[in-house]
């Protein structure tokens, strides 16, 4: 029983083309993911900077609130020692106290918003870390494809040329010589 010969011509061409495809895929995919990850890290760093600035402003507002509360307490303490307190003084202190209470409520609301944003940002940073670890794995795979791709292409083209094309060229030359004679 005779086994038919395999079409090695197509196999070697496939190796060559697959090698080129591996090289191009590995290089382009790694570059694309690198740019994507750098943009993501840049966005996260921007969000962290914004969050730090919001916390800084919030601390300034808290300090101002403490000064206002201290001033209102001092004013109340001063009124305790006075025998006669005018209606205007009481209304003024009442208005200042109300304004302080409103500012305090706004500070509490801002504090809660900042805490929620911090939790979201923490999640984004964790996601970026996961992406970075995935990027490392993909970099290894892409690096291997960049290394293996040219080798496979060279192997395929050399084998195709040496084992398929040269013999076909020799046969064609002999046939050409035979028809001329």
**21 token code pair:** 């495809």
Q: What contacts 22, CB < 8 A, 6 or more positions away?
A: 145, 146, 148, 149, 152
For 38-65, how does the pLDDT look when each residue is reduced to its tens digit (9 = 90+)?
898 898 889 888 888 988 888 888 888 8
The confidence band for 8, taking pLDDT boundaries of 50, 70 and 90, is low
For 83-108, how does the pLDDT look when each residue is reduced to its tens digit (9 = 90+)?
677 778 777 877 887 888 888 888 88
CATH topology of domain 9-168: Helix Hairpins (1.10.287)
pLDDT of residue 145: 92
For residue 6, the tally of other CB atoms under 10 A from its CB is 8
Nearest to 130 by CA among 40, 52, 50: 40
More confident site: 121 or 151:
151
The Cα–Cα gap between 156 and 159 comes to 5
- For the cut 90, the answer to whether the pLDDT of residue 23 exceeds it is yes
**115 token code pair:** 């805490």
- For the cut 70, the answer to whether the pLDDT of residue 2 exceeds it is no
The Cα–Cα gap between 54 and 47 comes to 10
pLDDT of residue 64: 84
């Amino acid at each position: 029983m005779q086994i038919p010969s395999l079409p090695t011509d197509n196999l070697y061409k496939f190796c060559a083309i697959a090698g080129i495809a591996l090289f191009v895929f590995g290089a382009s995919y790694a570059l694309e993911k690198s740019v994507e990850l750098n943009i993501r890290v840049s966005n996260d760093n921007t969000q962290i900077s914004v969050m730090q600035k919001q916390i800084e402003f919030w601390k300034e507002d808290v300090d101002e609130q403490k000064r206002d509360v201290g001033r209102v307490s001092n004013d109340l303490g001063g009124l305790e020692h006075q025998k006669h307190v005018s209606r205007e003084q009481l209304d003024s202190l009442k208005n200042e106290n109300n304004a302080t209470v409103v500012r305090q409520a706004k500070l509490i609301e801002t504090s809660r918003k900042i805490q929620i944003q911090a939790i979201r940002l923490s999640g984004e940073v964790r996601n970026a870390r996961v992406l970075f670890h995935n990027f490392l794995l993909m970099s290894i795979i892409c690096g291997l494809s960049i290394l293996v791709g040219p080798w496979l292409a060279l192997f395929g083209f050399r084998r195709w040329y040496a084992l398929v094309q040269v013999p076909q060229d020799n046969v064609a030359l002999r046939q050409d010589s035979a028809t001329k004679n």
